[in-house]
């Protein structure tokens, strides 16, 4: 018996007038997911808890069975591990964005309009690592771009441990009980990192991050990459936004040992890969999405088929619908969900046996197109396959799943034990 656990990033949404008061999931053509929902059980789920609009790291930690309020130590650490950086307790790790800074600290675009190539980001990262020297404390650093506008920063103080008790310079996210939470309708200005307690470690950490931001801004403002971008009418990638600092590794229990299974993870992004690795899974970071959904989905199905004989459980994280949610493009989001159903799930259902598999499909959070940020909206959930009894719903959507037999799951970390019990019960029966 296999567990196939598919999480589609940012798929959740709210009804949109342009779509006839439907959500993108409800408006999408999803015959494969609909079939799974019709033959299985459905419900809604708050992936962290009601009132929390989670970032993907906290949501994924929760969906893998860990209470993020107990286990999360900051997205920065997760991203750094996923990017292959050696992180030790006492190092300060931060998730970063390349962004465009205008006059008066105004942030013109938090993601450089998604036009920064990985090659351009690599050039800017190389310049920072080669030319910036931190002087506010005796510290070394490693700055690494990951995909497009995304990057990570790890700072190591040569004399003492650093502290994650600092605020974000990225205004779009704030810290709530140690978790990064999206903040809608904020003024888009570069924030100064501030210590969140009165310790010397927090003061030093805030100062050294501010120094890095200031020095890289001066370096990048007239860097060859940005001069060329400006000449082409593109936004400059002239500042780094930092958020979700962490200074210690999470103490996850080993998920394979806890449930006596062989668990593999396939992820598009470094954060999800890092979490899976720290949880004790075999983690494969897949090639980044190319924009060709058909080809990307076929590659992922092929990888699952290759690994299927060697593992019992699979966590598959698909990035797809999140970006058009952030961009407010409901038509594009709907089209991507339809394409994932057609090109990923058609192939997946051919590769696996429904009667010998438990299949779970959900999302890590909602990214409503009308808000353009994550929200605490509950997401649709289906569990199908094996001998699971069905709800007889007509379509996999938020509206239909609200009537499912699973009801409302109030904490995402409740789902993994439920899936493992279903898996074990199916093997016994």
Classify residue 159 by its DSSP letter: S
Place of tokens 């007889």: 392
If residue 244 lies in a helix (H) or strand (E), which one and from where to where?
A: strand 239-246
What is the pTM for the complete model shown?
0.88
pLDDT of residue 390: 84
DSSP states along 11-75: BB---BGGGTSB-HHHHS--HHHHHHHHTSEEEEE-SS-TT--B-HHHHHHHHTT--HHHH---H
pLDDT per residue, tens digit, the chain (429 aa), is 999 999 999 999 999 999 999 999 999 999 999 999 999 999 999 999 999 999 889 999 999 999 999 998 989 999 999 999 999 999 999 999 999 999 989 999 999 999 999 999 999 999 999 999 999 988 999 999 998 999 999 999 988 899 999 999 999 988 877 787 878 778 999 999 999 999 999 999 999 999 999 999 999 999 999 999 999 999 999 999 999 999 999 999 999 999 999 999 998 888 898 999 999 999 877 887 777 889 999 999 999 999 999 999 999 999 889 999 999 999 999 999 999 999 999 999 999 999 999 999 999 999 999 999 999 999 999 999 988 988 878 899 999 999 999 999 999 999 999 999 999 988 765
Burial of residue 42 (CB within 10 Å: 0-12, 13-18, 19+) is: buried
Collapsing DSSP states into helix, strand and coil, what is residue 393?
coil
The C-alpha torsion from 246 through 251 and 254 to 255, rounded to 10°, is -60
Pairing of strands 41-45, 407-409: parallel
DSSP states along 297-344: HHHHHHHHHHHGGG-SEEEEEE-TTHHHHHHT-HHHHHHHHHHHIIII
Q: How far apart are CA 15 and CA 345, in angstroms?
A: 24
Closest CA to 60 of 207, 311, 252: 252
Q: How far apart are CA 150 and CA 406, in angstroms?
A: 36
pLDDT of residue 181: 80
Residue 141 pairs in a beta bridge with 155
Place of tokens 């309708």: 185
- For residue 427, count other CB atoms closer than 10 A to its CB: 11
pLDDT of residue 425: 86
Collapsing DSSP states into helix, strand and coil, what is residue 2?
strand
Burial of residue 82 (CB within 10 Å: 0-12, 13-18, 19+) is: buried
pLDDT of residue 428: 63
Closest CA to 401 of 385, 382, 417, 426: 382
């Amino acid at each position: 018996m296999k567990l196939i656990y598919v999480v589609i990033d940012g798929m959740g949404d709210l009804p949109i007038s342009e779509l006839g008061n439907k959500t993108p999931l409800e408006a999408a053509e999803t015959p494969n997911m609909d079939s799974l929902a019709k033959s299985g059980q459905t419900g809604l789920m708050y992936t962290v808890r009601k009132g929390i609009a989670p970032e993907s790291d906290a949501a994924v930690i929760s969906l893998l069975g860990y209470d993020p309020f107990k286990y999360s130590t900051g997205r920065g650490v997760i991203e750094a591990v996923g990017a292959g950086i050696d992180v030790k307790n006492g190092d300060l790790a931060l998730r970063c964005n390349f962004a465009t800074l205008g006059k008066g600290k105004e942030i013109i675009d938090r993601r450089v309009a998604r036009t920064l190539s990985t090659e351009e980001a690599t050039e800017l990262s190389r310049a920072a690592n080669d030319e910036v020297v931190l002087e506010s404390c005796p510290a070394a650093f490693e700055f690494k771009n990951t995909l497009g506008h995304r990057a990570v920063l790890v700072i190591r103080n040569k004399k003492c441990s650093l502290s994650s008790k600092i605020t974000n310079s990225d205004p779009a996210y704030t810290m709530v009980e140690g978790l990064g939470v999206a903040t809608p309708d904020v003024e888009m200005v570069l924030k100064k990192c501030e210590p969140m307690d009165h310790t010397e470690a927090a003061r030093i950490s805030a100062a050294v991050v501010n120094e890095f931001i200031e020095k890289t801004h001066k370096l990048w403002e007239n860097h060859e990459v940005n001069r060329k971008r400006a000449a082409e009418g593109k936004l400059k990638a002239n500042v780094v936004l930092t958020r979700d600092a962490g200074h210690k590794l999470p103490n996850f229990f080993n998920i394979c040992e806890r449930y006596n299974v062989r668990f593999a993870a396939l992820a598009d992004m470094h954060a999800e890969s890092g979490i899976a690795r720290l949880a004790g899974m075999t983690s494969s970071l897949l090639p980044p999405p190319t924009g060709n959904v058909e080809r990307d989905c076929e590659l992922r199905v092929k990888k699952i088929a290759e690994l299927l004989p060697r593992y019992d459980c699979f966590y598959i994280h698909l990035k797809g619908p999140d970006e058009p949610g952030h961009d407010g493009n409901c038509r594009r989001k709907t089209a991507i969900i339809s394409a994932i159903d057609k090109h990923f799930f058609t192939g997946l259902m051919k590769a696996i046996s429904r009667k010998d598999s438990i299949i779970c499909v959900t999302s890590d959070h909602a990214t409503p197109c009308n808000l353009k940020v994550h929200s605490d909206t509950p997401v649709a959930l289906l569990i199908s396959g094996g001998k699971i009894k069905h709800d007889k719903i007509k379509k996999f959507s938020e509206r239909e799943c609200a009537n499912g037999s699973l009801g409302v799951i109030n904490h995402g970390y409740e789902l993994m034990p439920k899936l493992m019990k279903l898996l074990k019960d199916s093997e016994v029966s």
